[in-house]
A and B are shown apart, each in its own frame.
Chain A
Amino acid sequence: MPHSSTVNILHILETDFSMIVEEWLGTQVHEGVKRSDLFSDAESRAQNAELLKSFAKGVRNAAVDGDFDLEDAAWEDLRAVLADVTKERVKRGVTPTEMATFVLALKAPLFGRLEARLNDDPASLIREVLLVTRLVDAFAIYTNEVFIAEREQVIERQREEMLELSTPVVELWDRVLTLPLIGTLDSARAQEVMENLLQTILERQAEVVIVDITGVSTVDTQVAQHLLRAAAAVRLMGAECIISGISPMIAQTMVQLGIDVGTVSTRSSIRTALADALKTVGYSIQKNRDS
């Protein structure tokens, strides 16, 4: 049921649809946001036409006066198309500003037509221009939200990938494993590290595990607790755990924090830890010849 305030804009959208699409494209070219380098003419035209179609549908069905709300079900189609177009354009390297300008370019063709139609009724003209402004602005802002949400998804995905990447358990020698820790050790990661480590101990029948924390910049009580728990679990599985890579700074802060490593062996470098580990499993490193 069209509202009286949208009669004019609806009429314009219905009678002049393809011309508006063309003019919208024209404004986009003018503003430098059409990006012919990334999208063919046909693609751009199809995107614009689809957007305008859903826009018209929304105007026809939604409340656009006082209680305009983009979350309204009537705008569902437009939101979906807008999200698709934004994602597609962002994927091909369009910036958020360009995307917003792309949407805002719709104002020019609509305003021109409203002006022609409501020439002798300035009050209605202003009212409808305001209305269209509000709608189009809301959609432009919405594209930004889509853009940010998309970025956040990428960040979250990368974070998860890193979580997995950064916990490799490496077999250094027969029955000797090492776990080089890098970055931070929060609870989620500690859990991952622990599971991975214990599983590998079982698979490789490891006797010594070197947990290297050279790449961990901060050892606070939580990180220390995770490390000590991992060491305790390793010991329960019958292997020996050496924590290596304890820098002078880390050693001092751990003392200040009153962290007691108990019977867990610690070494300042992975080099000394490796020598110890090899000794434990019955090997030794020997110099072959003088050089």
Chain B
Amino acid sequence: MHFRSCGVPNAPDTSPLTVLARLSLKTSRDVVAARQTVAREMKARGTSTIRVTRFATAVSEIARNAIVHGDGGEISICIDARKEYLLVECRDRGRGIGDVEQAMIEGFTTAGGLGRGLGGARRLSHGFEIVTAPGEGTLVRMSAKL
């Protein structure tokens, strides 16, 4: 199996994670639920509004991608043992991304969107990582400082 990955290292350490929520992604309502859960968990831990808005937007992009390109999937929202980072893992069962570098380019789109979601989500997250291969689905890991 040939995986391609890109982005900066995600988890600051390998400490055990606590799962806060796990949601399935099927419709755009699930996208709303995912980003609201992320925003709620961050706010509950006193994260600044700007960080919350940034990360909720990033999660919204990735969750929507899973539905539009990946035929739906699942999203897990976790927190590290030291409660410093919120980590989100979004997995879909779609056809995967053939060329991650290309998909990251501004304006590159296969579904008529703006083509800025993936690169934008990376910029809006602290850590960001994609594991994908054609036909293997896509796994996006992203994190935000609390």
> Closest CB of chain A to B3's CB: distance in Å?
26
Q: How far is the CA of A221 from the CA of B39 in the complex (A)?
A: 18
Contacts A220-B61, A249-B53, A256-B124; A184 near B32 (Cβ below 8 A): yes
B53–A253 CB distance below 8 A? yes
User: Counting CB contacts under 8 A, is B35 at the interface?
Assistant: yes
> Closest CB of chain A to B115's CB: distance in Å?
8
Contacting residues, chain B, for A44 (C-beta < 8 A): none
Chain A residue with Cβ nearest B109:
A221
Q: How far is the CA of A219 from the CA of B60 in the complex (A)?
A: 9
A217–B39 CB distance below 8 A? yes
Q: How far is the CA of A217 from the CA of B55 in the complex (A)?
A: 12
Q: How far is the CA of A115 from the CA of B79 in the complex (A)?
A: 57
Those of A234-269 within 8 Å (CB) of chain B: 248-250, 252-253, 256-259
User: Counting CB contacts under 8 A, is A129 at the interface?
Assistant: no
Contacting residues, chain B, for A224 (C-beta < 8 A): 114
User: Counting CB contacts under 8 A, is B28 at the interface?
Assistant: yes
Contacting residues, chain A, for B123 (C-beta < 8 A): 256-257
User: Counting CB contacts under 8 A, is B91 at the interface?
Assistant: no
Contacts A221-B120, A249-B49; A256 near B54 (Cβ below 8 A): yes
A250–B113 CB distance below 8 A? no
Contacts A253-B124, A257-B124; A221 near B116 (Cβ below 8 A): yes
> Closest CB of chain B to A254's CB: distance in Å?
9
Q: Is the interface of B mostly helix, strand, loop or mixed?
A: helix
What 1/0 flags go to B26-43 for Cβ under 8 Å of A?
001101100100010000
User: Counting CB contacts under 8 A, is A222 at the interface?
Assistant: yes
User: Counting CB contacts under 8 A, is A119 at the interface?
Assistant: no
Contacting residues, chain B, for A218 (C-beta < 8 A): 35, 53, 56-57, 60
Q: How far is the CA of A133 from the CA of B123 in the complex (A)?
A: 59
Q: How far is the CA of A210 from the CA of B49 in the complex (A)?
A: 26
User: Counting CB contacts under 8 A, is A205 at the interface?
Assistant: no
Q: How far is the CA of A260 from the CA of B114 in the complex (A)?
A: 10
B117–A221 CB distance below 8 A? yes
A259–B114 CB distance below 8 A? yes
Contacting residues, chain B, for A250 (C-beta < 8 A): 53
Chain A residue with Cβ nearest B62:
A220
A253–B64 CB distance below 8 A? no
Contacts A187-B28, A258-B119; A248 near B50 (Cβ below 8 A): yes
Chain B residue with Cβ nearest A159:
B29
Contacting residues, chain B, for A219 (C-beta < 8 A): 57
Choice from A186, A221, A252, A256 contacting B114 with Cβ under 8 Å = A221
Chain B residue with Cβ nearest A247:
B53
A interface list, Cβ under 8 A from B: 184, 186-188, 217-222, 224-225, 248-250, 252-253, 256-259
With A222-B113, A252-B54, A253-B54 already in contact, 9 other A-B pairs whose C-beta atoms are closer than 8 Å: A217-B53, A218-B57, A221-B61, A221-B113, A248-B50, A249-B49, A257-B61, A257-B116, A259-B116
Question: Top 8 A-B pairs ranked by shortest CB distance?
Answer: A257-B120, A249-B53, A220-B60, A186-B28, A256-B123, A253-B57, A221-B117, A221-B114
